[in-house]
Amino acid sequence: MKIRKAKVSDLKDIILAQKEGWIFAHVSDEYNITEEDILKHLGPDEDLERRFKKFIEGGTPYYVVEVDGKVMGYCGCYQKDDYWTGAIYLRPSIIGNGIGMKLFPKMLEDIGEGNVFVVEIAEYNTRSISLFEKLGFELQKEKVNYVLNGSKKEIPLVIMRRVI
């Protein structure tokens, strides 16, 4: 396993990790969220590529994890008002191996001490909630609904926060 800064040449693998990660984390029978809903929400690859390229070229902290020489996930963030926000997405085949515990802190190093970092997680994504608790995040707010583009279905979120 190798963790490194993301490059524009990683975009296709980053998009694949985001799609597979979103599907793994957000599809829910209970909330009637389907794979189709997620893909519609994320939009076309070209739009995702433009957005990620802007972040990477702009120097925003984005890291990838390589397993056996192949990019299998990423984490990235950006500044929003007076705090930082971001996410980590791994391809499902590598989830549960402790990679998130190594990848996410690498990105936090770039942000610097004293800054606030906020994550929004589907309340039913207990694996991610557990990861962020282990990383020192605390529950800030429960049950904010996130509306998916294209379907108007809602994902109930918990908001977690940490001062770096």
Task: Give 95-141 pLDDT, tens digit per residue.
Answer: 888 898 888 888 888 888 888 989 999 999 999 999 999 999 999 87
Alpha-carbon span 10 to 49, nearest angstrom:
10
Tally of structural domains, the chain: 1
Mean predicted confidence (pLDDT) in 57-75 = 91
Give the model's pLDDT for residue 147: 82
pTM of the model: 0.86
- Residue 71: domain span: 2-163
First to last CA, the chain: 25
Give the model's pLDDT for residue 143: 73
Mean predicted confidence (pLDDT) in 60-68 = 91
Which residues 6+ apart lie within 8 Å of 118 measured at CB?
A: 83, 84, 85, 140, 159, 160, 161
User: Has residue 31 got a pLDDT over 90?
Assistant: yes
User: Has residue 17 got a pLDDT over 90?
Assistant: yes
Rg of the chain on CA atoms, in Å: 15
Buried b vs exposed e over 1-30: b needs ≥16 C-beta within 10 Å? eebeebeeebbebbbbbbbbbbbbbbbbee
Q: CATH code at 102?
A: 3.40.630.30
User: Has residue 142 got a pLDDT over 80?
Assistant: no
Q: What whole-number percentage of the chain has pLDDT above 70?
A: 100
Give the model's pLDDT for residue 70: 94
